[in-house]
Structure 1
Amino acid sequence: MFTAHAAKVDTVSVFSARMQKAVKTVVVLPEQQQIQSVLYLLHGYSGNYSNWVNNVSSLKDLVDQYGYVVVCPDGGFDSWYWDTTDDNYKYETFITKELIPFIEDRYTVGNQRVNRGITGLSMGGHGALYLAFRHQDLFAFAGSTSGGVDIRPFPENWNMKQRLGTYHENKKVWDDHTVIELTHLVQAGNLQLFIDCGTDDFFFAVNNKLHEKLDYLRIPHVYLTMPGKHDWNYWSQSIAYQMAFFEQCFLSASKIN
């Protein structure tokens, strides 16, 4: 019989040698043993490591239902999950070189790319695709919900110019740090992708543009639109679709291996 909220929630501190600080991280573990796969779930701008577990009451049920670990690292108030010239903003390095080895050692989960997925909301949706596109050796599966997948229409928002410089003076830097300009990195068939956005979201247009570009480049992906705004009402629904997608990815990979 299925028991609600049987999943275990750990809050751990992961020391980043690159940033010289401890980074709080929530780890949600299913009740069942012999877990192999991990979904890295990123928060949005002004959020923190506890957002997903505190705002989505169904998250622990979904972890138990699907049987893989969910890891929610703190990505800083406004990091966008980039490495920048500021030593306090090396979150690409943190996730790809420090967090993943920590999780795989502490929880003895699989250490192959087919055991890893990454997704997130808003800033975290951008971050998930940004990291997956740039590190296809680490991730086989990636997603985004309400993601800021093209930052360039918003040059004055969310402290991005503090991280990258102003857009009009640093266009190439902005191009190099926006998801929609990194699609050339995706090797066809190398990443399985799931992207969703609410139709009343201010990021809806840029998600449509990314979908159209992926279609044009013949990069396979799932694209889902639903009624909804840029808020937790939408994300509480979309996470169920996201996690079902990753379950199918992990199951397919386990059958092949």
Structure 2
Amino acid sequence: MSQFFTTKIAEFAGLHFITVKSNALHRRADITVFTPHIDPLPAGLPLVILLHGVYGSHWDWAVKGQAHATAQRLIDTGQIKPMILAMPSDGLYGDGSGYVPHQDANYEQWIVEDVLQVLKEQFPVLNAQLPIFIAGLSMGGFGALRLGAKYPQAFKAFSGLSSITHFDQLSQFVSSFDTLKNDAIEQDGVLDWLVKNRDHLPPFRFDCGSDDILIDANRQLHAALVAQKIPHIYEEFPGIHEWAYWEKNLEHTLRFFNQFIG
């Protein structure tokens, strides 16, 4: 029996589009899902959750980032094993929810509980024995790194691209940061959870464009992790805070996750 009051799913252009009444948000929310084009589809597949940035929605990674095309190319050329990509909305709060708990809706729980549950209900090829990964860009990078560190038991590995590294940095992007601050219950940083759960962290990486507006924040996070002796991978590539960078460099994340698929 489904744990959700309503779930609608449709398929178009090789992608699945889900609208579900979220228990965490108390309203409808959306997920775009890619299943690899393989015949027959393997009996079990790992899952990669991709989180979008501010101003975006569930279709960003597919339409703007061509994430499904990148994954299919890497699968077809044998560079990664087949995997499902799930691209949820952040809950569509203001310019961005930050993927943190709010006073009236839990945008964190939406990702770590509802999204996983609805995918397991709709795609039988997912099961508890297969790894789950999480990644994201900008605000989604903050979400992925923070949730990967806060819930280390939930994810096999995690990754961030051009990531916001602390809640306060959202002030650079959202139009009403004071309203977001008033609504958000947790306003911490990625480092807080990485240090708190340092003994239980799964492998993780993050990267940033060398001319990105968040490059200093990412370098500072890397330096802090080195000082704390927390194992990680940090890389810089040419680029700025834009889709051209994320579309090109997503493959580093997918290849990284591929290492942890049995």
Pick which of 101-110 and 192-201 moved more. 101-110
After superposition, the Cα gap between the structure-2 partners of 1:39 and 1:205, relative to the gap in structure 1 and judged at 3 Å, is same
Q: Secondary structure at the match of 1:163?
A: helix
Task: Tell whether 2:99 aligns with 1:81.
Answer: yes
Cα shift at 1:151: 3.6
Aligned residues: 236
Question: How far apart in 1 are the matches of 2:170 and 2:133?
Answer: 28
Aligned twin of 1:4? none
Superposed, 1:1-257 pairs within 5 Å as 8-32=14-38, 33-34=41-42, 35-57=44-66, 59-63=68-72, 65=75, 66=80, 67-75=82-90, 76=92, 77-87=95-105, 90-108=106-124, 109-112=126-129, 115-152=131-168, 155=171, 157-158=173-174, 159-165=176-182, 174=187, 177-188=188-199, 190-250=201-261, 254=262
Pick which of 229-238 and 54-63 moved more. 54-63
CA contact (8 A) 1:144 1:196 kept: yes
Q: Secondary structure at the match of 1:149?
A: coil
Cα shift at 1:98: 1.1
Cα shift at 1:153: 5.1
Structure 2 spans left out of the alignment, 5+ residues: 1-12
Cα shift at 1:97: 1.6
Cα shift at 1:178: 1.8
Question: How far apart in 2 are the matches of 1:58 and 1:78?
Answer: 21
CA contact (8 A) 2:98 2:167 kept: no
Q: When the two structures are superposed, what TM-score results if normalisation uses the length of structure 1?
A: 0.84
Pick which of 226-235 and 16-25 moved more. 16-25
RMSD: 2.3
Q: When the two structures are superposed, what TM-score results if normalisation uses the length of structure 2?
A: 0.83
After superposition, the Cα gap between the structure-2 partners of 1:181 and 1:118, relative to the gap in structure 1 and judged at 3 Å, is same
CA contact (8 A) 1:36 1:68 kept: yes
